[in-house]
Structure 1
Amino acid sequence: MDGFLAALAISFGVIFVAELGDKSQLMAMTFATRFKPLPVLIGITVATAVVHAVSVGIGYGLGAALPTGWIALVAGLAFLAFGAWTLRGDSLSDEEKGKAERTNRSAIVAVSVAFFLAELGDKTMLATITLATQHGWLGTWVGSTIGMVAADALAILLGRFLGKRLPEKAIKYGAAALFAIFGVVLLIDAVSQLT
């Protein structure tokens, strides 16, 4: 159980931070202006659970097939790349914003489909794959799913009730710094395993 809780806590923290200022968080805010918060949150949860289950499966399979030193090296480099990606930032295209605003289908189905498609190949999916190579699959899946849903719930609440923007620069720099720290720690671990 100790490994499960560690995987859950690490995955929650990493994915929560990765989601701050991400494109899907902006989508959550947009959907929350059109639909009630609960159906939006349910749709996000369904899509996230499915995408992260696939991510964990890929990561766990890679973790079982590759030596841990090389996994730590690749994971460290990936987290440094995630930090750079976070600094670059995300935004919704006009087409993506239009889909979020115009959809006439059920809110849960619309949000689920939009989030599923938006998360394919996104940094949170890649981060979940990376985490699953290092930690237990169940804790990583639960933690990453809860972390993303919590970050998107925060976006919904802030967007809906406060009507103010998140302080983008502070969030962007803080998230990038945390990714860099995780990356450096993993690289140090990789070097110690490979030497």
Structure 2
Amino acid sequence: MVRKDDFDTGVPLPPGLDCAAVRRAVEYIERELAEFVEVYYEQANVFSALVGIFGTRALDSVSNYEKHRHADTAQQRFPDLKRRGSGQKPKPNECLESKASKRPWALQSHYDHPGWYIVWRYLVDPTETLEPGRPVVIWRVDAVFLEKADWKYEKSSAGDAGGGRTHTFGVKNPAARLKGKAVYRRSDVVARGGKPVPCNGADA
């Protein structure tokens, strides 16, 4: 259950976006991704991409942000979403990128564009300990406006033999940059050892 008390209404959000829309988006992501859990065990990076895609789809449906309607832009360029009525060339403050990560702080992108970023922090809970019927749980949602200077280039690890990650940009000192940016944080989940785990009571 997405609890109202787990939202921080003091966290700045993109213009026109509110906690009610984020709440509906979290509910949508958790519900729709339940049938894709096997993808996580086969290719976790592909699953993270799915979480981001479903986040985009949810906000397009429940908020005043819409997907970019040009296929090449929506699939390959920034941003995933733009504020409704902002035109074909929205300003950075009207751009919203939907990202996902299973890690507590990391934030990576193929671009270093300025704009708003919403990050769906998820965990896979096959025993459904946290929520019956919800093997995928969004435990935190970060919302942050990033400037070009907030990003650092990360060289490709791919070699001549193939494999490895393509080049990306990562946020500099993400734990510090994202501090205080969690608009939603489940009170029954904590980050320990670099990953989210259910509280045992003593952590609450």
TM norm structure 2:
0.27
Kindly indicate which of the two structures has a greater share of residues assigned to helix. Answer: 1
Higher relative contact order (CA 8 A, sep 6+): 1
TM norm structure 1:
0.28
